[in-house]
Amino acid sequence: MTIKQTFHKLGSPRSFDRLASILIPWFLSISVLLFATGLYGGLVYAPADYQQGDSFRIIYVHVPAAWMSMFCYVLLAASGAVTLIWRMKLADVVARAIAPLGASFTFIALFTGSIWGKPMWGTYWVWDARLTSELILLFLYFGFMALQAAIDDRKNAAKAGALLALVGVINLPIIHFSVEWWNTLHQGATVTKFDSPSIATSMLIPLLIMFAAFKTYFFAIMLIRARAELLWSERKAKWVCEHPEVRQ
């Protein structure tokens, strides 16, 4: 089977539903295990920071959520590109499933960042480049969902949402490089530095585990949402009528 044939087979609603039903329990189980390990490592195993004390431990939620906010948008934009180029119905289904999750991660990143900012900066919010561009990302997610809800015709809604998602990609490098391009209170990169991370290994390992936990959780919930969206949009199709979960 060629790559093109595999791509189109996976793009089949019925094939996607079968694959998702297999993957969801695995992703959920792995995410629970990773969350338990990561939280124990971050809250118990990792030592207190020599400057921030125990208040730094919010990093184990804030940083993975911030990473996931951008990761989700990359997938959203990629789904939009597939929608526009190949007109695959499944791509729009995936995009609709991703958007609320991406908005949730972005909100968590902003909220936990504000909590962390109070003891560090003396204020919950400052209009610096990193925080402002992350807030814009949240509005982009809201805009995508609002467009999908406002346009009755599903095909036109998919095109409009895809265009917005692709235009919004320009905000991602601004978020990532904002701490280098402008003066900002937000600290620079500590984990993704090219030479070596500026964080102790005992603190870094739980952080990476938490990132893996967030990512597996995302894939599990995204697949659950996508399956539900797919079954609804294809509810008149014969394979859906014969679906064991639908017949129950």
CB 87 within 8 A of CB 237: no
> Which residue did the predictor score with more confidence, 31 or 195?
31
- Average the pLDDT over each of 135-139, 185-189, 242-246 and give the range with the smallest value: 185-189
Domains and CATH numbers, the chain: 25-247 (1.20.120)
Per-residue pLDDT, 17: 87
SS3 category, 55: helix
Which of 126-135, 219-228, 229-238 has the highest average model confidence (pLDDT)? Answer: 219-228
Task: Indicate the pLDDT class of residue 2, thresholds 50, 70 and 90.
Answer: low
Q: Helix crossing, 129-150 with 171-181: angle to 10°?
A: 170
Residue 184 token pair: 């900002």
Distance (Å, whole) CA 69 – CA 107: 9
The dihedral formed by the CA atoms of 34, 35, 40 and 41, expressed in degrees to the nearest 10? 60
Please list, residue by residue across 81-97, b when 16 or more beta carbons sit within 10 angstroms of its beta carbon and e when fewer do.
ebbbeeebbbbbbbbbb
pLDDT by residue (tens digit) across 177-221? 876 766 665 565 555 544 555 688 899 999 999 999 999 999 999
pLDDT by residue (tens digit) across 60-116? 999 999 999 999 999 999 999 999 999 898 999 999 999 999 999 999 999 999 998
Per-residue pLDDT, 194: 41
Distance (Å, whole) CA 43 – CA 206: 9
